C-alpha cells in the first residue's frame, strides 16, 4: 500500500460515525394563558387594533414622542445591553471556530546547541556543537464525533438570541420609564398650578377676613385661621417643586444627558398625558411571543439544554487528526556525511522536507465520577431554568392583569373624584358668599376650602393614575420594541469607536449579527475569521 492510500485509509477510519449528537435535543415548552382578560370588561378593551409597537402615540403628545425617540438612541443602559449583543455574537464565532481544525500553527526556529561530552551515545567523532533550523506547519483537528462542538454552537446561538431579547426587554422598560417620568413631571406641574390656584382663592379669603376683622364684624380667631390655611397651602409648593426637579433629573439620565439639558423640551406647559378610554392590547396568548423577558428566559433554557450535551461528550473518547509538515537542516559534521555534509543553507532543499500525519484518540477513563457530576450540574441548571421560565410566564400574566385592573379602576376613581371636585368647588363659592353675607361662620368657609384643595389635588392625581396605569399595562404586555432594528443596538458613533479600536470585520454591518433561521441548523458555518 503506497503512502497516499495509507493516508486516505487513516482519514476515512477517523471520520467514520462523526455525526452523533449526545445530550438531549431541546424542545420548546408549550405554555398557554387564558383566552381572555379577566380584569376588565370588553368595553375597556380593543382586542383587534393592538397599538403596541408605538403605544405611546395614543397619548397624542408630541413632546413625549420626541423624548422617547431620543431616549431610544442615547440611553446608556440600553447601549451597555447592546454591546453585550456583540459580545454574544463574538462568542458564537469562537464556538463555531471550534468545529474547524483547532490547531493551525506555523513555527520556525534557529538554535545553537552543544551536547554534553558525557551524554549517552556520544563519541569523539560526534560534532557536539552545531546549529539547527527549521520551519513548519502543525495542524490538529479534534473531530466532533459526539457533537460537543455543535452543541456548543447551539448553546451560543441561543445565548445570542437571549441577549437580543434582553435588549428588547430593556427597550420596553426604557420606553415605559420615559413615559412614566414624563407623566410625573406633568403631574407635578399640574399640582403646582392647583396649589397656586388655591392660594389665590385663600388670599382673597384672607383679605375679606382681614377687612371684616378690622371692622369688628368677626373676631381675630377667624382671621388667624384664614392665614393658617393660606400658609399651609403655600407650604405644599416646595415639595411639588422638588418632585418636579427630581423628575426632570431622572428624565435627563434616561436620555443619557446631564441635568437641565432637556429643559428646552419642557418650557411650554402641557397637560398630564390624556389616556384613551380603551386599551388596545390584543389577547393574552399574544403576550407569550411578544414579551422579551419571556423570550429571553426561553432562549437561556435552550442554551443550557445544549450545555448538557457539551458536558456529556466528555464521557466518550475524543478522536483527533494530527499532522505536521516541516523543513529542517543542521550543520552538524556527521549529518548526511555520505552526501558531503549538511549546512543551514540546505533548509529549502527537497531532502529537508519531513512530515507526519495520523489519528489519535484520548479517553478520560478514570474521571467518570467528575464528568458524570458535571453533566448532572448542567442538567440541574437546566431544570432550574425551566422553573424560571414558567415563573416568568406566570408573573407576566399577573403583571398584565394587575395593570389592566389598575387602568380600569383608575378610570372609575377619576369619574368619582371629578364629581367630588365639582361639588367642592361649588361648596366653596357658596360658603364664601354666605360668609360675606353673615349667614355662616368662618369655620364653614375653612372646611369648604380645605375640601376643595383636597378634592382638586386628588382629581389631578387621578389623571396621572389613569395614564400611569395604561403605561404600566403596555409595558406588561411587552409593547414598544417591535420597531427596533439591528441599527438600534448601538449608535453609529459608538460602532465607529469600536471599529477604530478593534477589527470587528462585518459584524458591525446591519444584518450580520445573526444568520437566517433556515441556516441555523447547518453544521458548517463561517466563524468570521
Q: In tens digits, what is the pLDDT along the chain, a chain of 529 residues? A: 455 555 445 444 444 444 578 999 999 888 777 778 887 776 777 766 667 889 999 999 999 999 999 999 999 999 999 999 999 999 998 898 888 888 888 998 888 888 777 777 666 667 778 788 888 898 898 898 999 999 999 999 999 999 999 999 999 999 999 999 999 999 999 999 999 988 998 888 888 878 877 877 777 787 888 888 899 999 999 999 999 999 999 999 999 998 878 888 888 888 999 988 888 887 777 777 789 999 999 999 999 999 999 999 999 999 989 889 888 888 775 544 455 567 777 777 878 888 888 899 988 888 778 999 999 999 999 999 999 999 999 999 899 899 999 999 999 999 999 999 899 889 888 887 887 777 777 778 888 888 888 898 999 999 999 999 999 999 998 988 888 876 778 888 898 899 989 988 877 776 656 544 544 545 456 666 5
Residue 426 CA: distances (Å) to CA of 419, 423, 430, 432: 11, 5, 6, 10
Q: What is the pLDDT of residue 10?
A: 44
Q: Are strands 129-142 and 103-114 parallel, antiparallel or unpaired?
A: antiparallel
Q: What is the pLDDT of residue 523?
A: 47
Q: Which residues contact 396 (CB under 8 A, 6 or more apart)?
A: 287, 288, 291, 293, 294, 476, 478
Instruction: Look up residue 244 and give its three cell numbers.
Output: 418636579
Distance between CA atoms of residues 505 and 510, nearest Å: 12
Q: What is the pLDDT of residue 299?
A: 95
Q: Are 86 and 489 in contact (CB under 8 A)?
A: yes
The dihedral formed by the CA atoms of 87, 93, 97 and 103, expressed in degrees to the nearest 10: -40
Largest CA distance in the chain: 140
Instruction: Look up residue 468 and give its three cell numbers.
Output: 400611569
Distance between CA atoms of residues 285 and 477, nearest Å: 10
Q: Which residues contact 103 (CB under 8 A, 6 or more apart)?
A: 138, 139, 140, 141
Residue 207 CA: distances (Å) to CA of 202, 204, 243, 403, 437: 9, 5, 31, 47, 15
Distance between CA atoms of residues 410 and 357, nearest Å: 77
- Identify the CA nearest to 162 among candidates 499, 522, 514: 514
Distance between CA atoms of residues 114 and 87, nearest Å: 50
Q: What is the pLDDT of residue 49?
A: 61
Residue 399 CA: distances (Å) to CA of 41, 140, 297, 385, 454: 18, 54, 17, 20, 31
Count of alpha carbons within 13 angstroms of residue 14, beta-carbon side: 21
Instruction: Look up residue 378 and give its three cell numbers.
Output: 448542567
Q: Are 233 and 205 in contact (CB under 8 A)?
A: no
What the chain holds in terms of domains, given with CATH numbers, is: 3-19+52-99+144-317+363-519 (1.20.1600.10)
DSSP state of 337: G
Distance between CA atoms of residues 342 and 336, nearest Å: 6
Q: Are 255 and 67 in contact (CB under 8 A)?
A: yes
Q: Count other Cβ atoms within 10 Å, centred on residue 194.
A: 20
DSSP state of 279: B
β-strand partners of 360 = 320
Instruction: Look up residue 344 and give its three cell numbers.
Output: 543551514
Strands (E), 269-427: 318-330, 353-362
Q: What is the pLDDT of residue 331?
A: 78
296 — phi, psi (to 5°)? -65, -40
Amino acid at each position: 500500500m503506497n503512502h497516499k492510500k495509507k493516508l486516505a485509509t487513516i482519514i476515512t477510519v477517523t471520520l467514520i460515525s462523526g455525526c452523533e449528537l449526545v445530550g438531549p435535543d431541546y424542545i420548546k415548552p408549550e405554555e398557554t394563558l387564558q383566552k381572555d382578560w379577566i380584569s376588565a370588561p370588553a368595553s375597556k378593551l380593543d382586542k383587534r387594533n393592538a397599538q403596541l409597537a408605538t403605544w405611546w402615540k395614543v397619548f397624542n403628545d408630541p413632546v413625549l414622542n420626541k423624548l422617547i425617540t431620543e431616549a431610544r438612541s442615547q440611553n446608556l443602559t440600553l447601549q451597555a445591553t447592546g454591546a453585550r449583543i456583540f459580545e454574544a455574537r463574538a462568542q458564537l464565532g469562537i464556538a463555531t471556530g471550534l468545529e474547524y481544525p483547532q490547531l493551525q500553527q506555523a513555527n520556525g526556529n534557529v538554535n545553537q546547541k552543544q551536547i554534553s561530552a558525557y551524554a549517552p551515545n556520544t563519541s569523539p567523532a560526534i560534532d557536539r556543537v552545531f546549529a539547527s533550523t527549521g520551519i513548519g506547519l502543525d495542524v490538529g483537528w479534534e473531530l466532533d464525533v459526539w457533537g460537543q462542538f455543535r452543541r456548543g454552537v447551539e448553546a451560543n446561538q441561543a445565548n445570542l438570541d437571549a441577549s437580543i431579547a434582553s435588549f428588547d426587554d430593556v427597550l420596553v422598560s426604557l420606553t415605559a420609564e420615559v413615559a412614566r417620568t414624563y407623566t410625573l413631571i406633568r403631574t407635578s406641574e399640574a399640582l403646582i398650578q392647583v396649589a397656586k390656584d388655591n392660594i389665590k382663592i385663600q388670599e382673597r379669603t384672607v383679605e375679606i377676613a382681614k377687612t371684616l376683622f378690622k371692622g369688628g364684624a368677626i373676631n381675630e380667631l377667624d382671621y388667624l385661621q384664614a392665614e393658617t390655611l393660606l400658609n399651609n397651602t403655600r407650604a405644599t409648593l416646595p415639595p411639588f417643586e422638588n418632585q418636579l426637579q427630581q423628575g426632570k433629573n431622572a428624565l435627563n439620565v434616561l436620555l443619557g444627558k446631564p441635568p437641565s439639558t432637556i429643559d428646552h423640551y419642557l418650557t411650554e406647559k402641557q397637560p398630564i398625558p390624556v389616556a384613551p378610554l380603551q386599551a388596545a392590547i390584543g389577547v393574552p396568548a399574544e403576550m407569550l411571543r411578544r414579551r422579551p423577558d419571556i423570550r429571553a428566559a426561553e432562549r437561556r433554557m435552550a442554551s443550557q439544554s445544549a450545555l448538557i450535551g457539551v458536558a456529556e461528550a466528555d464521557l466518550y473518547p475524543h478522536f483527533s487528526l494530527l499532522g505536521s509538515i516541516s523543513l529542517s537542516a543542521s550543520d552538524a559534521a556527521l549529518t548526511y556525511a555520505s552526501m558531503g555534509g549538511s549546512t543551514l543553507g540546505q533548509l529549502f532543499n527537497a531532502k529537508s522536507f519531513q512530515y507526519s500525519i495520523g489519528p489519535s484518540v484520548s479517553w478520560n477513563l478514570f474521571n467518570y465520577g467528575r464528568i458524570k457530576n458535571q453533566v448532572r450540574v448542567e442538567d440541574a441548571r437546566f431544570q432550574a431554568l425551566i422553573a424560571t421560565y414558567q415563573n416568568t410566564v406566570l408573573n407576566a400574566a399577573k403583571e398584565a392583569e394587575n395593570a389592566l385592573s389598575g387602568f380600569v379602576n383608575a378610570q372609575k376613581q377619576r369619574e368619582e373624584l371629578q364629581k367630588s371636585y365639582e361639588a367642592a368647588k361649588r361648596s366653596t363659592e357658596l360658603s364664601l358668599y354666605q360668609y360675606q353675607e353673615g349667614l355662616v361662620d368662618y369655620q364653614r368657609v375653612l372646611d369648604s376650602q380645605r375640601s376643595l384643595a383636597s378634592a382638586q389635588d386628588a382629581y389631578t392625581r387621578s389623571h396621572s393614575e389613569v395614564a400611569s396605569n395604561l403605561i404600566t399595562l403596555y409595558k406588561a404586555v411587552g409593547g414598544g420594541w417591535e420597531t427596533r432594528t439591528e441599527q438600534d443596538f448601538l449608535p453609529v458613533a459608538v460602532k465607529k469607536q469600536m471599529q477604530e479600536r478593534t477589527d470587528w470585520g462585518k459584524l458591525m454591518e446591519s444584518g450580520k449579527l445573526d444568520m437566517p433561521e433556515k441556516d441555523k441548523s447547518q453544521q458548517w458555518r463561517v466563524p468570521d475569521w
